């Protein structure tokens, strides 16, 4: 019985088998959340014989409590704000703009690092499979789903190797399909479910994206 993944690549192989109903579907695109989701997404895309790209979404964290999302930022100037959070915390326009400016800089840096500045994504009508190496609270993936839906994909699937049972339940009402290999009740951090959870580098992300792009041509 599987209780832990060796690394992100092995986790991706396990996840891919749970997505076998999408093999050779020409409408599918695998969208991996950098950085840790890219090795996982690489294995999923290879198994499905599908194109893969990085989905560059930045969470807009509340100042002083950055893990708590007040919105999301996506390429093309897409900004999503949770007005309820903004109102409840009485956040000022200046505070919001400061966070947006910082995250825009990081988004642009990653676009350039991964070659995204000259090849925008087109998700309209497609089956978008959003992949990460795991979910804890799921806040980043939730804003990724929001950002993907702006482009009106035909179907949105969230697929991860591991997530706490409670978080997995949350997503079932947010997307068309939620796929998860391990959904433990006792969950402390994503890294505890990997023997090797070394941080993925920008160079590794770029290499995997280029390798998959070459295969998909």
> What CATH number should be reported for the domain holding residue 72?
3.30.1310
The reported pLDDT for the residue numbered 137 is 81
d(CA 5, CA 193): 6
Q: Tally the domains of the chain.
A: 2
Domain contains 1: no
| pLDDT value, residue 68 | 81
Above pLDDT 70, what percent of the chain? 95
Where do the DSSP E strands lie in 120-211?
Answer: 127-131, 155-162, 177-182
- Domain assignment present for 89: yes
State whether 51 and 64 are in the same domain.
no
Range 182-206 average pLDDT: 94
Looking at residue 11, its pLDDT comes to 98
Output the CA angle 3-52-160, nearest 5 degrees. Answer: 25
pLDDT at 165 over 80: yes
Q: Are 142 and 201 contained in the same domain? A: yes
In tens, the pLDDT along 60-105 reads: 999 998 878 888 888 777 788 889 999 999 999 999 999 999 999 9
Structural domain containing residue 151: 8-55+124-216
Summarised one tens digit per residue, pLDDT across range 5-34 is: 999 999 999 999 999 999 999 999 999 999
**161 — pLDDT class (breaks 50, 70, 90):** very high
Q: What is the DSSP letter of 119?
A: S
pTM of the shown model = 0.86
Q: Are residues 65 and 47 in the same domain?
A: no
Tokens 């309209």 sit at which residue?
124
Residue 132 and residue 109 share a domain:
no
90 plus 193 within the same structural domain: no
Residue 146 predicted with pLDDT over 90: no
- pLDDT score at 119: 57
Range ranked top by mean pLDDT from 51-60, 164-173, 198-207: 198-207
- CB atoms < 10 A from the CB of 132, how many? 27
| Contact indicator for 186, 156 with CB cutoff of 8 Å | no
How many whole angstroms separate alpha carbon 169 and alpha carbon 149?
A: 20
Q: Are residues 128 and 212 in the same domain?
A: yes
**Longest alpha-carbon distance in the chain:** 51
The pLDDT score that the predictor gives to residue 117 is 47
- Pick from 66-70, 160-164, 182-186, 204-208: least confident: 66-70
Digit-coded pLDDT (tens) for 115-141: 754 556 789 999 999 999 999 888 788
Q: Is the residue at 119 inside a domain?
A: no
- The pLDDT tens digits of the residues spanning 26-42 come to 999 999 999 999 999 99
């Amino acid at each position: 019985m599987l209780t832990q993944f060796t690394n992100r690549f092995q986790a991706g192989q396990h996840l891919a088998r749970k997505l076998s109903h999408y093999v050779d579907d020409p409408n599918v695109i695998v969208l991996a959340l950098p950085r840790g989701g890219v090795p996982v997404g690489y294995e999923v895309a290879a198994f499905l014989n599908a194109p893969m790209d990085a989905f560059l979404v930045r969470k807009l964290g509340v100042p002083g409590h950055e893990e708590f999302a007040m919105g999301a930022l996506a390429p093309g100037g897409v900004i999503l704000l949770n007005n309820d959070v903004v109102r409840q915390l009485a956040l000022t326009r200046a505070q919001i703009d400061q966070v947006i400016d910082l995250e825009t800089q990081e988004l642009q840096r990653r676009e350039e690092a991964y070659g995204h500045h000259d090849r925008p994504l087109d998700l309209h009508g497609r089956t978008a499979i959003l992949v990460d190496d795991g979910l804890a609270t799921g806040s980043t993936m939730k804003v990724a789903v929001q950002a993907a839906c702006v482009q009106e994909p035909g179907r949105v699937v969230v697929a991860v190797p591991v997530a706490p049972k409670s978080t997995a339940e949350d997503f079932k009402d947010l997307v068309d399909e939620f796929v998860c290999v391990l959904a433990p009740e006792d969950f402390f951090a994503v890294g505890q479910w990997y023997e090797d959870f070394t941080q993925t580098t920008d160079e590794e992300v770029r290499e995997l994206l280029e390798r998959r792009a070459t295969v998909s041509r």
